[in-house]
Structure 1
Amino acid sequence: MYAMAATPQTRQRRPRGSLNQQVITEAALRISDREGIAALTFDALGRELGAHPTAIYRHFRHKDELILALTDELHARAQVGGLPVTDDWAEDLRAVARRIHGAFMAHPQVGQLVAARTARRPHEFETVEHILGCMRRAGLPDPEAARCYRVFTDLVLAYSSMEAALSALDEPTREADLRAWEVDYRRLPPERFPHLATAADHIPPLDSPANFEFALELLIGAVRTRIRPADGPTA
């Protein structure tokens, strides 16, 4: 008597109604973190969630809608525990900027892509409202508050995205870029590049955490210059 051949186990179907945009977005973030943004497809989401890919299309018409949801998810993760509102507008700006930067760096595969996108979703709205509130509490008149909001936020997002992109590189490529500042730049002929030769020992590494902090202080300092004595506090 012959033993019956083993048959592959049928994948258990996901319960009906258990998919929603949040569940799919969290799965997309897991796939991107684990395998890279290029691996993020609706087929991959189906495998991750135990669902047919067509089920994903019921919640997101196309991948760009998913990218916008991921953009908002990074804002959501920057807001965990709430964004602080104190009597120190500058410190509140530092706090929200650090949280945004931290969210991008925690998920660099997504963070490298989304700085230029407008999610037009609830958590993004909350980020905009919070930063505008900081600018107005600084005492800036509304036109100045709006302009400073735009530049401050865009620069924080851009810097965070750039550092996320560096972190998202494969290790050999990233190490080669970092090493170039320690090796290639120091080998340049000083007679042709005198300023580089003078400053080479003082240029921070690309991945130094102090770079973002310094950029943040420059931004806050720039905001302070827009506050006239009659406008309000300069703390």
Structure 2
Amino acid sequence: MAAETSKSKGHKAPLDRDAFIAAGLRICSQTRTLSLTYRDLGQELGVDPTAIYRHFHGKESFMRELLDRVFQMAHTRAAHPTAPWEDRLIELAASTLDTFLEYPGIAVTATSLTTGGPGELASMELALDCFWEAGLHGRDLVEQYAVFASYTLAGAAGLARDLADPAGDGSYAWFAGPMLAEPTRHPLATSSRDHILALEQRKIFLAGVGQIVAAAKEKAQHSGPSSPPMPRQPAA
């Protein structure tokens, strides 16, 4: 029996950081879980849950690396350098949303974790480059990026959480449930009822990105000469 056990162990793939990351991605994608646990990982890999501590300092460092992998996926899907800057920004937001929807248990950490990893930095550089191309520089560039990033991450993470909720109906409708507006008290809501109920969350999310793009154009047109353009590449 001991020999058989030893032999079966010998056939197992070595456990390293990538093995745990791959297992976390599989679990979050396949089960649509919103709470990834060490027990889930242990069952997926056939090991004691505490084995993860040999590769990660704790849950936060593990989730940070998972989130950065998701950022990398979103960036890869959106990286089309020849497209107009407006299209690249909208595509980055759309790919972030779609990737978050695939991995809801990871996406929900996007509003509380900063990865500082290659995925997050690549997405940051892409968005900054788009706003730079729009004509924004200095503080205007950074502020517009911050608005875009905050909106995109919060909106995409929220939708990923809501649409993965097993108690929900899986609908993309923006307004959930019946709309009990009374004509005498809520005349505008009543007259707009059909349009409100027809709203779809993904379209509203992208419409918000479109407004950020429009605001960037407007700000670039009114930017004064006091903010000199900053180089795309650091000086040698």
Normalising by structure 1, we get a TM-score of: 0.81
* Counterpart for residue 192 of structure 1: 185
Give the number of equivalent residue pairs: 221
* Counterpart-to-counterpart distance in 1, 2:13 and 2:5: 20
Quick one: which of 22, 26, 42 aligns to 1:26? 22
Q: How does 1:11-22 map to 2 (within 5 A)?
A: 12-13=8-9, 18-22=14-18
* Counterpart-to-counterpart distance in 1, 2:141 and 2:103: 30
SS of 1:203 mapped into structure 2: helix
Q: How does 1:139-150 map to 2 (within 5 A)?
A: 139-150=135-146
Q: 1:77 to 1:139 in 2, by over 3 A?
A: same
Measured against aligned partners, the alpha-carbon deviations of 1:57-104 in whole angstroms (never above 9, x if no partner) come to: 111121111111121111011133671222621111112111111111
Is 1:169 paired with 2:162?
A: no
When the two chains are superposed, the root-mean-square deviation of aligned CA atoms in Å is 3.0
Aligned 8 A contact 2:74 2:92 in 1 = yes
* Counterpart-to-counterpart distance in 2, 1:95 and 1:82: 6
Q: 1:231 to 1:103 in 2, by over 3 A?
A: farther
* Counterpart for residue 5 of structure 1: none
Normalising by structure 2, we get a TM-score of: 0.80
* Counterpart-to-counterpart distance in 2, 1:148 and 1:211: 20
Is 1:46 paired with 2:42?
A: yes
SS of 1:61 mapped into structure 2: coil
* Counterpart-to-counterpart distance in 2, 1:206 and 1:102: 18
Aligned 8 A contact 1:13 1:50 in 2 = no
State, as a whole percentage, how many aligned pairs show the same letter: 25
* Counterpart for residue 3 of structure 1: none
Instruction: Give the deviation of 1:228 after TM superposition.
Output: 2.2
Ranges of 4+ aligned residues in structure 1 off by more than 6 Å? 14-17, 176-180, 229-232
Instruction: Give the deviation of 1:178 after TM superposition.
Output: 7.4
Pick which of 71-80 and 40-49 moved more: 40-49
Q: How does 1:53-72 map to 2 (within 5 A)?
A: 53-72=49-68
Aligned 8 A contact 2:74 2:96 in 1 = yes
Measured against aligned partners, the alpha-carbon deviations of 1:23-76 in whole angstroms (never above 9, x if no partner) come to: 2112112222334133x2223212211333332111112111111112111101
Aligned 8 A contact 1:43 1:53 in 2 = yes
Gaps of 5+ in 1: 1-8
Instruction: Give the deviation of 1:128 after TM superposition.
Output: 0.9
Pick which of 124-133 and 202-211 moved more: 202-211
